[in-house]
Amino acid sequence: MTFLKLLSLVAVVAITGCSVAAQKPVALNEEAFTQTNSIAIIATEVPTPDTTFPGASCLICAGIAIANHSALTEKVVTFSTEELVSLPEDLKQVLAESGKQVVISDKPLVLKSLPDSKSKLENSSKKDFSGLAKELGVSKALVIDVQFDGVLREYSSGYIPAAAPVGYVYGYAYLVNPETSQYEWFMPLNIREAVEGEWDEPADFPKLTNAYYSAVEKFRDAVLNAFTAK
């Protein structure tokens, strides 16, 4: 167990406090989508699967939680992210079937590298995608931002688990108009998949493994189904 891991865990526990988290869902603007010809799918780099323990928020609490789940973490970090990594390609196919010209950015999106948006309009991105859209030659940007994937176990009172671990994928997907920075669709995704039966089955943890891949599938379906037959 490393100090860096402890700091990382505390950061993940606080992840829902980041600036974009306050943005409420925005239903797809059907009219604007119909009039859109070209879209760039831009994805952040999918993180390596990991464990997280919200509620174990002090360094000592986090250290105990990490130590008590070391065998689980060793398994979780081996989980595949292939289905999340391939989501942009699958989404491109869905959009192409609706007549859109679609390109996929070949570089992972680093949101902090983008300039801040100057828009004061409601439901607007805090980042300015206009330069990136111009570079890719498109009129809209469709962002897939997976912020965490793996297993989550909630804690209460710092040291005591509040529930069994769950498969967990957390992030956002949104369609933004680069000219105005307004969202034409915004979907927060907080997918938790419970285990049926006993979860503590080292070293392979088969039921938790299945829960993780089920959460991944639900994340994918939520994004793809938003644009199916549009």
Domain extents in the chain? 3-224
Residues 6+ apart with CB under 8 A from 155: 53, 54, 55, 56, 61, 65, 161, 162
Return the amino acid letter for 184.
Answer: E
* N-terminal to C-terminal alpha carbon distance within the chain: 48
Look at residue 229 in the predicted model and tell me its pLDDT: 62
168 bridge partner residues: 150, 192
The string of DSSP letters for 45-107 reads PPPPPEEE-TT--SHHHHHHHHHHTHHHHHHHTT---HHHHTHHHHHHHHHHHTT-EEEE-SS
Between CA 212 and CA 166 the distance in angstroms is 7
Look at residue 162 in the predicted model and tell me its pLDDT: 95
Look at residue 230 in the predicted model and tell me its pLDDT: 58
Look at residue 195 in the predicted model and tell me its pLDDT: 96
Closest CA to 226 of 22, 29, 24, 23: 29
Q: What is the pTM of this model?
A: 0.90
Closest CA to 105 of 75, 66, 67, 144: 144
> What number of CA atoms fall less than 13 Å from residue 37's CA on the CB side?
2
pLDDT tens-place values along the chain, 230 residues long: 444 454 455 545 444 334 444 799 999 999 999 999 999 999 999 999 999 999 988 888 889 999 999 999 999 999 999 999 999 999 999 999 999 999 999 999 999 999 999 999 999 999 999 999 999 999 999 999 999 999 999 998 778 999 999 999 999 999 999 999 999 999 999 999 999 899 999 999 999 999 999 999 999 999 999 998 65
Helix (H) or strand (E) holding 156: strand 155-156
Contact 40, 132 (CB under 8 A): yes
User: Which tokens go with 62?
Assistant: 């986090």
Contact 178, 133 (CB under 8 A): yes
Question: What's the burial of 185, exposed, middle or buried (CB within 10 Å: 0-12/13-18/19+)?
Answer: buried
| 77 CB neighbour count, 10 Å cutoff | 12
